[in-house]
């Protein structure tokens, strides 16, 4: 691993600060300082629950400070990227906050990432240290970290730490309040600049390696604070984290950090499986959780098969991909909680349906932005505004939306206009209520002989069928028409589906003949990208392989 990034802050940070810095959105509080504000306010109140461990706010801050000072002793300085690959655990949260205390920049990798992804992330970020689990799901993360790290320190969470590596466990141990107070004072003397980069999230792109999204202390503090306000989080909130905590959604939208900021409690689940998540939710009295549609469907199927849904769960936040209205209605009916749709991205913009929204808005729209500083443009292929009710590409800018990627990877500039608007690539229309409705992706269009077909429309139609659990529509190249319609599906237990049955079902729904799938691929599970989104590039490859040339 080489460190080719100079860790300088991108020029657009100053431009954004000029636009929003004096407008009252930002409070000028580094995330590590925020941790101690929570500790001073909530003291020994439970902050985190992980397996049998329960940490209060003050204890969490003490443990994070101890690791922060150890990172500094290992040579980590403000602005240094630190690759973090830890599972959902209190140690993940403490490590994240420890980095914030000294201004180090966590690069949040996912546990399924392997050598190719980790080498790319480390190279792009210019990583100066790694914090990893020893093993997870029978994979040796410590060995991979040693390969990636080169001369840089490796901190390992586990019992069998290699010589030359540093054991995370002892560095996260609690200590007496007097010693903790002295350490706090030492760290307070080196307060990070809140305008600098605080963390690097992974973009949700499906082309090549993930791009790194640079979020500052200022913008991310606003992100989690405003999200928690909009979602009604308070001291009675018990947030169940079932998605990987390295994702923006469960981390700060409002997620774990949003719950802590309101004095609530975060319960860290090792898995989203119903048998695991339901038991934890019941034991801890979880009031809210956030999932992607496929997990929500798995939960409803478990209840339909006899599982008991958590009695205290009031809200299920669902985002990551479009949720068909019929599925949203079924989730509310079966799980007995209210669906809150979430549309957002690591790059910034967050939209939520609101707790008081009527059922029609909750099930058919993806919410509205959290901030009066969010700017939205819906445009056609020539960047001209489209009328209300007509889909257009969503462009956005605002107080917590980035204007560039970290390290300026090849092709990344195309995602932003010269004046700093982020091109989401999403096709969106404005509902009469003002809420947004996501109809598909700019590149998620199948061009069949000149007829443009939105993949999202086909996926919604397929997922309304009783046999289908998940669906992904993609183009299949064809000489005469250019592209034909391909569909990959996963089926519910015991179900079967032929192409003829599928086409007939589409016709009964009133879809035009050219919109009905011409190729069907039934899979045990849909392939995913490194950040957990459906990998349509791989689905196109699989469909092309089974289609005669």
In the chain, where the domains are located? 12-216, 219-441, 445-546
In angstroms, the CA 423 to CA 393 distance is: 7
**459-494 residues labelled b (16+ CB within 10 A) or e (exposed):** bbbbbebebbbbbbbbbbebeebebbbbbbbbbeee
H/E stretch holding 376 reads: strand 375-379
Tell me, what's the pLDDT at 2? 34
Q: Do domains 12-216 and 219-441 have the same CATH topology?
A: yes
Contact (Cβ atoms closer than 8 angstroms) between residue 223 and residue 350: yes
Q: What is the mean pLDDT of the chain?
A: 93
DSSP state of 192: P
Cα dist from 458 to 385, 453, 493, 527, whole Å? 26, 8, 22, 18
Q: Do 391 and 429 touch, CB atoms closer than 8 A?
A: yes
- Kindly report, residue by residue over 325-371, the tens digit of the pLDDT: 999 999 999 999 999 999 999 999 999 999 999 999 999 999 999 99
Q: Tell which phi-psi region holds residue 266, choosing left (phi > 0), alpha (psi between -120 and 50) or beta.
A: beta
Fold of 219-441: Rossmann fold (3.40.50)
Q: CA-CA distance, 225 to 231, in Å (whole number)?
A: 10
Question: Max CA-CA distance within the chain?
Answer: 77
3-class SS string, 38-68: HHHHHCCCEEEEECCEEEEHHHHHHHHHHHH
Alpha helices in 374-474 (DSSP H): 455-463
87-101, 105-119, 282-296, 402-416: range with lowest mean pLDDT: 402-416
Which DSSP letter does residue 131 get? E
What are the residues facing 534 on neighbouring strands?
528
**Residue 204: its pLDDT value, please?**
66
Q: Cβ contacts of residue 141 below 8 Å, gap of 6+? A: 85, 111, 132, 133, 134, 135
Burial class (CB in 10 A: 0-12, 13-18, 19+), 345: buried
d(CA 452, CA 445): 6
Of the ranges 169-178, 207-216, 315-324, the best mean pLDDT one: 169-178
Mean per-residue pLDDT for 7-28? 88
- Assigned architecture for domain 12-216: 3-Layer(aba) Sandwich (3.40)
Collapsing DSSP to helix, strand or coil, 338 comes out as: strand
Question: Which region holds residue 6: left if phi is over 0, alpha if psi is between -120 and 50, else beta?
Answer: alpha
Pinpoint the alpha helices (H) of 151-306: 168-171, 177-188, 217-230, 248-252, 255-261, 274-284, 293-304
Three-class DSSP category at 344: strand
Residue 313 CB-density burial (10 A; 0-12 exposed, 13-18 middle, 19+ buried): buried
Please answer whether residues 472 and 539 qualify as being in contact, where contact means their C-beta atoms are separated by less than 8 angstroms: yes
> Is pLDDT of 5 > 60?
no
Is-contact 60 261, C-beta < 8 A? no
What's the whole-number mean pLDDT along residues 240-259?
98
**Omega of the bond leading into 254 within 30 degrees of 0 (cis):** yes
Residue 207: per-residue pLDDT: 44
Is residue 3 over pLDDT 50? no
pLDDT at res. 411: 62
pTM assigned to the model:
0.86
| Beta-sheet pairing, 105-108 with 81-85 | parallel
Structural contact between residues 471 and 458, judged by C-beta atoms closer than 8 angstroms: yes
d(CA 402, CA 349): 9
CA-to-CA distance for 212 and 110, rounded, in angstroms? 13
Q: Is residue 4 over pLDDT 50?
A: no
Mean per-residue pLDDT, 49-74: 98
Q: Please name the residue ranges forming H helices in 308-454.
A: 325-335, 359-364
Q: Return d(Cα 254, Cα 246) in angstroms, integer.
A: 13
CA dist., res. 3 & res. 106, Å (int): 15
Report the share of the chain in percent with pLDDT over 70.
Answer: 96
Residue 110 has, within 13 A of its CA and on its CB side, a CA count of: 20
Three-state secondary-structure class, residue 154: strand
The CA distance from 60 to 250, in Å, is: 19
What is the model's pLDDT at position 206? 45
pLDDT of 547 > 90? The answer is no
Q: Which of 269-273, 381-385, 402-406, 447-451 has the lowest mean pLDDT?
A: 447-451
Question: Distance between CA atoms of 457 and 510, rounded to whole angstroms?
Answer: 12
Segment among 35-49, 238-252, 404-418, 512-526 with least mean pLDDT: 404-418
The pLDDT value given to residue 209: 59
Contacts of 90 (CB under 8 A, 6+ apart): 48, 50, 53, 55, 60, 268
Q: Cα Rg for the chain, rounded, in angstroms?
A: 23
Per-residue model confidence as pLDDT tens digits over 122-143: 999 999 999 999 999 999 999 9
In the sheet with 338-344, reading across from the earlier edge strand, the strands are 53-56, 46-50, 265-268, 238-241, 288-291, 315-318, 338-344, 350-352, 368-369
pLDDT at 1 over 50: no
| Cβ pair 205, 382 in contact under 8 A | no
Helix (H) or strand (E) holding 98: helix 90-102
Plot region of 15 (φ>0 → left; ψ -120 to 50 → alpha; else → beta):
alpha
Residue 7: predicted pLDDT: 66
The pLDDT of residue 410 is 60
CATH superfamily, region 445-546: ANL, C-terminal domain (3.30.300.30)
509 Cα distance to chain centroid: 33
pLDDT tens readout for residues 176-189: 999 999 999 999 99
């Amino acid at each position: 691993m080489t460190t080719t990034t100079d860790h300088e802050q991108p020029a657009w940070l100053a431009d954004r600060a000029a636009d929003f810095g004096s407008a009252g959105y930002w409070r000028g509080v580094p995330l590590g300082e925020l941790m101690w504000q929570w500790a001073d306010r909530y003291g020994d109140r439970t902050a985190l629950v992980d397996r049998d461990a329960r940490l209060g706010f003050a204890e969490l801050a003490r443990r994070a400070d101890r690791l922060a000072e150890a990172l500094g002793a290992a040579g980590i300085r403000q602005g240094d990227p630190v690759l973090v690959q830890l599972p959902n655990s209190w140690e993940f949260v403490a490590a994240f906050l420890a980095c914030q205390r000294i201004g180090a920049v966590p690069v949040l990798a996912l546990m399924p990432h392997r050598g190719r992804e980790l080498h790319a992330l480390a190279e792009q970020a210019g990583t100066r240290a790694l914090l990893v689990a020893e093993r997870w799901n029978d994979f040796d993360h410590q060995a991979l970290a040693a390969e990636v790290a080169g001369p840089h320190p490796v901190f390992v969470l586990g019992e069998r730490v290699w010589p030359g590596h540093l054991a995370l466990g002892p560095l996260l141990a609690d200590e007496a309040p007097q010693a903790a107070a002295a350490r706090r004072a030492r760290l307070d003397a080196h307060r990070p600049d809140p305008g600098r980069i605080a963390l690097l999230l992974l973009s949700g792109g499906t082309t090549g390696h993930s791009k790194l999204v640079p979020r500052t202390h200022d913008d991310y503090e606003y992100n989690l604070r405003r999200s928690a306000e909009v979602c009604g989080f308070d001291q009675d909130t018990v947030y169940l984290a079932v998605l990987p905590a390295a994702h923006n959604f469960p981390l700060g939208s409002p997620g774990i950090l949003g719950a802590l900021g309101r004095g609530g409690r975060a319960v860290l689940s090792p898995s989203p499986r119903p048998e695991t998540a339901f038991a934890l939710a019941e034991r801890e009295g979880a009031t809210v959780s956030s999932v992607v549609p496929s997990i929500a469907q798995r939960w409803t199927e478990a209840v339909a098969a006899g599982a008991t849904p958590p009695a205290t769960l009031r809200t299920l936040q669902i985002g990551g991909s479009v949720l068909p209205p019929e599925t949203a209605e079924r989730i509310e009916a079966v799980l007995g909680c209210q669906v809150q749709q979430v549309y957002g991205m690591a790059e910034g913009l967050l939209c939520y349906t609101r707790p008081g929204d009527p059922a029609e808005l909750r099930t058919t729209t993806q919410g509205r932005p959290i901030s009066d500083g969010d700017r939205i443009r819906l445009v056609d292929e020539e960047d001209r505004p489209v009328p209300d009710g007509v889909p257009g590409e969503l462009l956005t800018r605002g107080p917590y939306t980035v204007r560039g990627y970290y390290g300026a990877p090849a092709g990344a500039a195309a995602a932003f206009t010269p004046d700093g608007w982020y091109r989401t690539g999403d096709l969106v229309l404005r509902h009469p209520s003002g809420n947004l409705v996501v109809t598909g992706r700019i590149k998620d269009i199948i061009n069949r002989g000149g007829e443009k077909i939105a993949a999202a429309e086909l996926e919604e139609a397929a997922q309304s069928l009783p046999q289908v659990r998940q669906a992904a529509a993609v183009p299949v190249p064809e000489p005469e028409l250019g592209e034909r319609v391909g569909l990959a599906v996963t089926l519910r237990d015991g179900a079967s589906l032929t192409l003829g049955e599928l086409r007939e079902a589409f016709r009964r729904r009133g879809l035009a003949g050219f919109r009905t799938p011409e190729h069907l691929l039934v899979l045990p599970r849909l392939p995913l990208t490194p950040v957990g989104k459906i990998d349509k590039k791989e689905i196109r490859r699989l469909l092309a392989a089974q289609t005669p040339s």
